[in-house]
Amino acid sequence: MNERKLLLGNETIARGLLENGCRIVTSYPGTPASEILSAAAFFKNRYNLPVHVQWAVNEKIAFEIAYAGAISGLRCAVSMKQVGLNVASDPLMSASYMGTKGGFIVISADDPGPHSSQTEQDSRLMAMLAKIPVLDPDSPSTAKEMTGVAFALSEAFEIPVMIRPTTRICHARQDIEQHAFPESFQEPEFEKNPGRWAATPKFRFQLHRLLEEKLLKIALFEQTAPAMVNETRATKRSSRVIIASGVASAHAMEILQELGLFDSIPMYRVIQPYPLHSAFIDLILSTYEEILILEETTGVIETQFADRRRVKGRMSGHVPGAGELLPEIVENIIRKFTHLESLSVEKPSVPGKRPTLCAGCMHRAAFYAIKRAAPKAIYTGDIGCYTLGLNLNAVDTVLCMGASISQAAGFHHAFKQTKKRSPIIATIGDSTFFHSGVPALLDAVVQQVEFVLVILDNGTTAMTGNQPTPASGFGAFGEPLPHVDIESLVNGCGVAFCRTVNPYELKPTIALLKEAVQFCNGRGPAVVIAKGRCLLDKNPGPAPFTPVEVEITDECDECEYCTTHFECPALISGGEGRTMIDSVLCSGCGVCIEVCPKGAIVEKNTNPG
Amino acid sequence: MDNHEKRQIIISGLGGQGVLFITRLLAEAAVMKGIPVLTSETHGMAQRGGNVVSHLKTGGYHSPLIRPRQGDLLLALDPNTAPLDSVFLKPEAIKAINSPSLHSTDSDRSTFYIDAVGGAQKSGSPKAANLVLLGFAVGVSQNMTPAKRLFCSMDDIRNVIHNRFSSDQKQSAQNIAALEIGAACAK
């Protein structure tokens, strides 16, 4: 027997891809998908596999790189979070028409809840829109098995295949059986065929017709057909049936067992929610009176039942239309469906602790400086750790990746004719700037948008676990790579004012920001690069500051200025007349010394006299 | 399968306190003993100081999440979230809670408090409150009747730490020291 190891869902997906001979894996980091590529990089490095593994600058680029590998006959995969698929939707829609040669897997991780995302969107709907099959794993171990099935399906029909895990699969750990990596790998071969790979609209129509034919056959593909999980004589006679996919199916199975219904209510696990197997639809409609469908986050299986009179699901209102299908919710839906009494759960209202920037984070210093330099500005924000500038009231808008710059432009154009104009300050992280900020900045230069862009350059993609950026100079498994200099890039965009500052030095930062606000008036964008280093970044590099030990003197009257306007988790106002420092959390950045209006936070004098 | 292998455990705290780390140690102890295990973890934005909770189920489950009134054991690094976490526990479940003020005032024979932060400071690794609490919970469980005991012992956790830190003896020793301080408080 192969050894069982404890693996994260995302690690099992990476392991499955590589065990099945995947030759290119690309991604852009995003919760809950990030660890797929990190794990692929780890396995590549550890076992010296001939696989190209890279973080790409964004999801669209990641998709296109992996796709070209696939039309060269190699097994390839691209992974991302669900909103990343929005960015990659342009190549996705087209790739489905043109199809593939080597197996091509698109992994789009959804986040019902949402726990760490802007939306609860269902990537399976994107698969329907693109007209490609999608597989929906219900555990880390099935996610691993599905990589092999997906490659086989993709190659059998020359079509991209989506695997859609959710947070509860990506971030579940399970004991997993490991298999060996292949001894030999495919060689690439690109067969020129412009009628397919560079099809003009006329040929696209042909490709679309072909695609429709493929889908009809995929709805008959035996390996991905729904399977009854509890076939017994009793379940054969039932007039009720439960159909479930994804983690909702894992919840439902366990609940049926615990309610003693496993031997009486038949349940089907759907592996491929789209296209739903046509014979399965016929079987269900001809066999059962009442049909309950459990799936996240929309009624993708449900909608494929043309006759829904006997179907209970999200569209019929029997399953909530928003939010995660937690097992307690699934239990009550099943109880109602089987005429058992519902359970009520009273959750006490305990004030939860909101997320916050780390003690000593450079972003906190930068946001504090921004507020001081332009207290009445409109602050457009972006996606990353620094979204938490919200806590310092230094973020007014968060739309999607890169939008801080284009929204700043929109505010400028909206208000430019009015008398009452506030300064506009946009904040964006280094990785997000590369991802989709650059085109927006080009636009702002050309349109002479009067705003200050603060690039919060902590040298890493922090929120998702410190993945490298194009400026890092190394790749997914630490290999040295060329790097792009942000200041040169900004200058290259045609920005006339671009200066770099260390945000831990508050006074020069505030002064520079004021200068930038002055500059942009009548002249177009000014860029300030606040350059520091993420405290969680374990990659080699210089320390962001020399730590100092701080203490609070008797001057402190607990006015709460520091805890409100600087909001450092290491500063605690407990209503005891004096603010305290949590010495375990404090990282010694010393910025609070300058923040305290009463001068009551000082560097500890370790050498008295 | 032994009855004590089937366990549902909640581990909660704030991002940065090391909830994921002790979840992983417990899960690896299960794998080492050949017990099937499923965990569910919090990643992403909440890891920046927000409420973080792990679910850990051993002994053959399908769903990675614990439903209300099903949990056997709670390890709470932040005493403030214990009431909310307790919704997920059976009435007789064991609660091991990190709290600086209420230690060892055992209110209902199944709730146990420890000053894990103080313990961590004593152990020389101020950030190891998570390991102190883990040692404490395992210790408390060993004092229980077999029906309520955890699926693993202190020796199992020690072995997991030894294996994980085989290339860093110093870290391994520090982690075990914190674990022992917690276990000693359970006696």
- For residue A454, give the H/E element and its range: strand A452-457
* Residues from chain B contacting residue A251 (CB–CB below 8 Å): 62-63, 65
Query: β-strand A267-269 against A240-244: which pairing, if any?
Result: parallel
Question: Of B37, B4, B157, which is closest to residue A6 (Cα–Cα)?
Answer: B37
High-pLDDT (> 70) share of chain B, %: 95
Same domain, A578 and A562: yes
Same domain, A190 and A75: yes
Residue A524 lies in a domain: yes
Question: Of B87, B29, B28, B36, which is closest to residue B60 (Cα–Cα)?
Answer: B36
- Mean pLDDT over A102-131 rounds to 97
Rg (CA), chain B: 15
> Could you give the count of Cα atoms lying within 13 Å of A46 in the half-sphere of its Cβ?
10
For testing the chain A interface, which of B12, B65, B89, B115 should be mutated: the one with the most A CBs within 10 Å? B65
Within 8 A by CB and 6+ apart from A438, the residues are A489, A493
Residue A525 lies in a domain: yes
Same domain, A211 and A166: yes
pLDDT tens for A354-367 read 899 999 999 999 99
> Could you give the count of Cα atoms lying within 13 Å of A175 in the half-sphere of its Cβ?
21
**Residue of higher predicted confidence among A420 and A600:** A600
Per-residue pLDDT, A345: 80
User: What is the C-alpha separation between A571 and A578, in angstroms, rounded?
Assistant: 10
- Mean pLDDT over A502-517 rounds to 98
Q: Flag if B43 and A346 touch (Cβ within 8 Å).
A: no
High-pLDDT (> 90) share of chain A, %: 91
Query: What CATH number labels B3-185?
Result: 3.40.920.10
Query: β-strand A580-581 against A571-572: which pairing, if any?
Result: antiparallel
Q: Flag if B61 and A171 touch (Cβ within 8 Å).
A: no
Same domain, A200 and A238: no
Same domain, A14 and A93: yes
- For residue B74, give the H/E element and its range: strand B71-76
User: What is the C-alpha separation between A499 and B24, in angstroms, rounded?
Assistant: 44
pLDDT tens for A378-399 read 999 999 999 999 999 999 999 9
Q: How far apart are the first and last CA of chain B?
A: 29
Query: β-strand B51-58 against B37-40: which pairing, if any?
Result: antiparallel
Residue with tokens 């408080």: B185
Q: Flag if A353 and B80 touch (Cβ within 8 Å).
A: yes
Q: Binning pLDDT at 50, 70 and 90, where does residue A607 land?
A: low
For testing the chain B interface, which of A1, A4, A6 should be mutated: the one with the most B CBs within 10 Å? A6
Per-residue pLDDT, A351: 75
- A331, closest residue in chain B (CA to CA): B67
CATH of residue A250's domain is: 3.40.50.920
Per-residue pLDDT of chain B (187 residues; tens, 9 = 90+): 456 789 999 999 998 899 999 999 999 999 999 999 999 998 877 778 888 999 999 999 999 999 999 999 999 999 988 988 999 999 999 999 999 876 554 556 789 999 999 999 999 999 999 999 999 999 999 988 888 899 999 999 999 999 999 999 999 999 999 999 999 999 8
Q: How many CB atoms are closer than 10 A to CB A405?
A: 29
pLDDT tens for A171-230 read 999 999 999 999 998 899 999 999 999 999 999 999 999 999 999 999 999 999 999 999
Rg (CA), chain A: 27
Same domain, A194 and A234: no
Per-residue pLDDT, A314: 95
Q: Flag if B14 and A353 touch (Cβ within 8 Å).
A: yes
Per-residue pLDDT, A117: 92
Query: β-strand A550-552 against A580-581: which pairing, if any?
Result: unpaired
* Residue of B14, B30, B62 lying closest to A250 (CB–CB): B62
Question: Of A198, A218, A207, A225, which is closest to residue A281 (Cα–Cα)?
Answer: A225
* Residues from chain B contacting residue A354 (CB–CB below 8 Å): 49-50
Same domain, A389 and A498: yes
Same domain, A319 and A270: yes
pLDDT tens for A124-164 read 999 999 999 999 999 999 999 999 999 999 999 999 999 99
Residue A354 lies in a domain: no
Residue A406 lies in a domain: yes
Burial A321-352 (b: 16+ CB within 10 A, else e): eeebbbbbbbbbbbbebbeeeeeeeeeeeeee
Residue with tokens 């505030």: A510
Per-residue pLDDT, B107: 57
Q: Flag if A173 and B14 touch (Cβ within 8 Å).
A: no
Same domain, A324 and A383: no
Q: How many CB atoms are closer than 10 A to CB A216?
A: 10
* Residue of B38, B50, B69 lying closest to A355 (CB–CB): B50
Q: What does A253-290 look like in DSSP terms, one character per residue?
A: HHHHHHTT-TTTS-EEE-S--BSPPHHHHHHHHHH-SE
Same domain, A136 and A45: yes
- A324, closest residue in chain B (CA to CA): B65
3-state secondary structure of B106: coil
Per-residue pLDDT, B102: 63
3-state secondary structure of A571: strand
For testing the chain A interface, which of B26, B67, B132 should be mutated: the one with the most A CBs within 10 Å? B67
Which of A304-318, A440-454, A461-475, B97-111 has the lowest average pLDDT? B97-111
* Residues from chain B contacting residue A353 (CB–CB below 8 Å): 14, 49-51, 78, 80-81
Q: Can you give the residue range of the structural domain that contains A464? A: 362-531
Within 8 A by CB and 6+ apart from A162, the residues are A105, A106, A107, A108, A123, A124, A126, A127, A132, A133, A134, A135
Query: β-strand A52-55 against A24-27: which pairing, if any?
Result: parallel
Q: Is the pLDDT of residue A478 over 70?
A: yes
Q: Residues for chain B: how many in total?
A: 187
- For residue A242, give the H/E element and its range: strand A240-244
Per-residue pLDDT, B44: 75
Same domain, A47 and A179: yes
* Residues from chain A contacting residue B116 (CB–CB below 8 Å): none
Burial environment of residue A151 by CB neighbours within 10 A (0 to 12, 13 to 18, 19 or more): buried
pLDDT tens for B29-53 read 999 999 999 999 988 777 788 889 9
Residue A545 lies in a domain: no
Q: Flag if A116 and B45 touch (Cβ within 8 Å).
A: yes
Same domain, A80 and A150: yes
Q: How many CB atoms are closer than 10 A to CB A387?
A: 21
Counting the structural domains of chain A, the total is 4
- Name the minimum distance, in Å, from the CA of A462 to any CA of chain B: 10
Q: Flag if A116 and B67 touch (Cβ within 8 Å).
A: no
